[in-house]
Structure 1
């Protein structure tokens, strides 16, 4: 049998991986979805035909102010397609541009500024016309206190959003390894929530809940907290997008935040969750390429997503550029503690806390695939110390790692997931 080569997302391009002769690859991709032939027209139609809401032009009438939330640089949301039409619609309805604010929903991530902000917004006109500002979760005065949820989560949300007369979120609908699906209500919390809000529902009592998993909204405690937070805020609207592997728009809708999000999830769910009839001892995946694989922090998502098809004791090989290095200082500290204490003792320290330490939840998520099998990482980023505290095995060649895994397990079957965490393989076999 001839060698075969597959390509997986890596940085801004693809990483070719030549599989050894005799390997039996299963390539796992999303179901192919038709590209929208006219993306700008699709956005206009979505705004004019909303889900459970009045058309955008009517919603804009008589408003005193408006705030539009956009995701940060870690999400490839096509902001260039919809920000200007919405802002122009608001201005046409009589709202002056100085009363319109676009806020980058950073959560506890770093701000996006300068050239990066220009890339994120994707339209110089927007930056020249309205205020585009970052959310800072640690600035107490920037948030409005809305009380607590029934589970006791303190709800403090960015004042610019809460106090706006018209509140709009925007996002990308994709699997999320804790909240079920990204986008919609998640752009609010954690997107523009205070750090105590974020640290509460990222604590171990939520994170270790068996229903806080990818592609699940039913009974998911994180999702339920987010819905309760939305109800506390009041009327919120959303524009929801779905992209294919080429990052082209295949779906867009607009409407009431919860209803429109659920409709978008319904569209993408069956195309993203891929039933697989067996588990594999060798799984090769990515961190979805740029921008998600800019940091090791985000790379953890790619480790968690294929867990369901990784055979116990199997090998998960992930490639991630990590062009920006590790992530936050807090995440670095959490990883160092995990390596020092070991996974079990580290998890025990988390379960004793009401507030999670900032970004340690990502380390907690990394423990889940580590409990299933062996995790190997190929990266061209990260310093020697950063590599040490990943807590996983570093490799210098994906191809060699695949050959070694096949030999070690005595099984030529290899699962390859080129798009990483944007695809969710689900085991549907009997054993």
Structure 2
């Protein structure tokens, strides 16, 4: 069947990209995982038969307080499916509503409030019955100092609302993460509700430039190893781990001890997410996975890094991202300004001596990895002219024209399309 266009995830919908005449498309998608016919039953079954832990009702029995971590608005976690049954289970076991807090694991992102918070929670029943609050990494008084990690000396500061709760539960989405290997589980704790010194240590060049700190890798990954030590230092922690498909439907859920249940979810999804490619491509078209990940240029960088293993050196990577909320934080803007002023090599040189990264400059560091390998182009509808300038990449207002130019530049009609962006990890499987 002849393909005339490819739909990329873009904003809250899709962006149809027409194939130039003579172009040949290879579409790289996740393996198909059937959605759960009854998500509620699957969630309750996970609570009743957890991995490496007692059932949730038993974990809650005799406890007076619980803290439930959820990811912030940048992650499409189906909170509306599991928060109410989780809270109802805790209350039935004896924890009062007043003893339960849902804590948004913002890391160093901005807080989620008002209508955005309601969207994030996904269930007014939850908002009406328990406290829902944001983590603030720069509020020193709200963190407990747990010392430093044994191998790398990472300072451990964790939100006291989580540390002091009698029952600690992290919830999240298990997907490829371009530094920590996989999101979810232990990552929702640190950096999710960590002090800014912890987060900035994680994002220092010492970690970021480590060749094992890449997507889909947990073996020897320094970020993952530090995260494991931190959750072990906390004591008993549990996690609800979700996996969704390209249409945001729930396809798998695990619950249990935070490390074991997370690893079980990783093992379930890895084969369908890490996709072998028999060749590399001179032209790749990808997305930032649509809403909510493509709300800012800051988050868009993730989509630039994920496909690098199949980009021919000197090739062209074309990104499509709505950036509906604009650029990102003030600190990220400042880092991009420094990149434009100093250039790639001098910018990286300013990072290597730091034990604490400046806030959000790590995303600029990750963008440089893509810029070192090839030409990066961006199609967006959400950035001002000045914001476009400090991206440091080539801006295109016509993605089809950019495709035609790339084909001509490389004299190669083969194009790889990755509609779901960083949620799919293509890997060169050639000799």
Matched residue, 2:22? 22
Matched residue, 1:33? 33
**RMSD between aligned alpha carbons?**
0.8
Looking at structure 2, the residues matched to 3 and 194 of structure 1 have their Cα atoms a distance apart, in angstroms, of 49
**C-alpha contact 1:2 1:21 (8 A) present in aligned 2:** no
Matched residue, 2:143? 143
Q: Evaluate the alpha carbon distance shift between residue 19 and residue 237 of structure 1 in structure 2; reply closer, same or farther with a 3 A threshold.
A: same
Q: Which runs of 5+ in 2 are unaligned?
A: none
Matched residue, 1:286? 287
Q: Give the Å deviation of 1:90.
A: 1.0
Q: Give the Å deviation of 1:3.
A: 6.7
The one-character-per-residue Cα deviations of 1:252-308 (angstroms, maximum 9, x if unpaired) are 010000000000000000000000000000000000000000000000000000000
3-state DSSP of counterpart to 2:391? coil
Looking at structure 1, the residues matched to 310 and 110 of structure 2 have their Cα atoms a distance apart, in angstroms, of 33
Q: Calculate the TM-score normalised by the size of structure 2.
A: 0.99
**C-alpha contact 2:64 2:94 (8 A) present in aligned 1:** no
Looking at structure 2, the residues matched to 253 and 80 of structure 1 have their Cα atoms a distance apart, in angstroms, of 16
Looking at structure 2, the residues matched to 146 and 99 of structure 1 have their Cα atoms a distance apart, in angstroms, of 24
Looking at structure 1, the residues matched to 254 and 226 of structure 2 have their Cα atoms a distance apart, in angstroms, of 24
The number of aligned residues is: 430
3-state DSSP of counterpart to 2:146? strand
**C-alpha contact 1:3 1:21 (8 A) present in aligned 2:** no
Instruction: Point out the more displaced range, 279-288 or 3-12.
Output: 3-12
Matched residue, 1:120? 120
Looking at structure 2, the residues matched to 185 and 2 of structure 1 have their Cα atoms a distance apart, in angstroms, of 44
Matched residue, 1:229? 230
Looking at structure 1, the residues matched to 87 and 38 of structure 2 have their Cα atoms a distance apart, in angstroms, of 20
Matched residue, 1:336? 337
Looking at structure 1, the residues matched to 175 and 260 of structure 2 have their Cα atoms a distance apart, in angstroms, of 16
The one-character-per-residue Cα deviations of 1:149-184 (angstroms, maximum 9, x if unpaired) are 121111000000000000000000000000000000
Looking at structure 1, the residues matched to 147 and 59 of structure 2 have their Cα atoms a distance apart, in angstroms, of 28
**C-alpha contact 2:103 2:132 (8 A) present in aligned 1:** yes
Which runs of structure 1 show a deviation greater than 6 angstroms over 4 or more consecutive aligned residues?
none
Looking at structure 2, the residues matched to 102 and 2 of structure 1 have their Cα atoms a distance apart, in angstroms, of 49
Looking at structure 2, the residues matched to 224 and 374 of structure 1 have their Cα atoms a distance apart, in angstroms, of 33
Matched residue, 1:105? 105
Q: Calculate the TM-score normalised by the size of structure 1.
A: 0.99
**C-alpha contact 1:3 1:20 (8 A) present in aligned 2:** no
The one-character-per-residue Cα deviations of 1:225-273 (angstroms, maximum 9, x if unpaired) are 1001001111000000000001000000100000000000000000000
Instruction: Point out the more displaced range, 371-380 or 87-96.
Output: 87-96
Aligned pairs for 1:145-184 (under 5 A) are 145-150=145-150, 151-184=152-185
**C-alpha contact 1:4 1:21 (8 A) present in aligned 2:** no
Matched residue, 1:395? 396
**C-alpha contact 1:176 1:182 (8 A) present in aligned 2:** yes
Q: Evaluate the alpha carbon distance shift between residue 313 and residue 120 of structure 1 in structure 2; reply closer, same or farther with a 3 A threshold.
A: same
3-state DSSP of counterpart to 2:67? strand
Looking at structure 1, the residues matched to 399 and 385 of structure 2 have their Cα atoms a distance apart, in angstroms, of 19
Looking at structure 2, the residues matched to 13 and 244 of structure 1 have their Cα atoms a distance apart, in angstroms, of 15
Q: Give the Å deviation of 1:86.
A: 0.9
1:61 equivalent to 2:64? Answer: no
Aligned pairs for 1:337-352 (under 5 A) are 337-352=338-353
3-state DSSP of counterpart to 1:119? helix
Q: Which runs of 5+ in 1 are unaligned?
A: none
